[in-house]
Each structure stands twice: as structure tokens, then as C-alpha cells.
Amino acid sequence: MTGLTHLDEDGAARMVDVGAKATTAREAVASGRIDMSPEAATAIAQGLVKKGDVLAVARVAGIMAAKRTADLIPLCHPIALSAVALDFALDDKGVTVTATARTAGQTGVEMEALTAASVALLTIYDMAKALDKAMVIGNVRLEAKTGGKSGDWRRTP
């Protein structure tokens, strides 16, 4: 089973040993989108959703999720995050979420950024589902990463 980093020589799942890797500053940016009815988007924008401030709750949920990524993704390393930020772009058809995670460590923060974006999107759905059960979550993806042995990477349009 050569070449597969998360499998040992017998094919069993394993957590990669990052102990010998250099500690470097690392950052990852992920994004995703939730499409919804214009009525639901307006209610979110105007703060009229009965459950409360949708984007404030989604921001906290995304931050909390990033901090728990290793509990959710079996082979992820628990890492000390130095920052997690979520930004929202609201338009008349939905919300685009952008999550940024940072650390100084031996492994990257791509999964933390992706988890933050995903859970923020799920939280928006939960908060607004009474207004629009047909909302669609999609396009969750890594936008960029910096640091580490593999260097910098940015999605090209």
C-alpha cells in the first residue's frame, strides 16, 4: 500500500506522524454557498428570522466547528488554532460563506476551514428552514492555503 499516507503497510487506517515536520505558519481559506428564496434572504438581511440573528449564530457555529474538526474527521490531527474567521456575503438569492483558519504548526488547517464553512452553512439552513425548506448548500471548497512543505496553493478560476 505504498503512496497512501493514511494507510499502513497492511492497509489499515493510521494517523500520519507529523512529529518530524517543521512548525510553520499556516492558513487556509474555504468557501461555500447556500441558495434560498428571495424572501428568506430578505428575512436574514433584515434580521426578521424568528430564531434570531442567523449570521451571528452561523459565525459562532463555524468557529466552534473548526475547533472540533479532529473530533469529526477521524484521521485529522487536533491542532491549536490561532484564529478562525467567517465572512458572509448576502445577496437576494442566498449567502456565500468564507472561512479562514490559521495556526503555527506541523500540519495544515484546510480541514478546519472546510469544516467551519460547512457548519456555518448548515447553521444558516437550520436557522432559516421555517422560511425555505428548499435551500441548497453547495460549492464547499478550498480556495487557498499557505505554509507547510507543499507551499502555497490558490484555486484558479
35, 71, 87, 126: which one is catalytic?
A: 126
Q: 449564530: which residue's cell?
A: 57
DSSP SS3 for 123: helix
* Active-site residue flag, 10: no
- Got the DSSP string for 7-75? B-TTS-B-----TTSPPEEEEEEEEEEEE--HHHHHHHHTT--TT--HHHHHHHHHHHHHHTHHHHSTT
Catalytic residues: 126
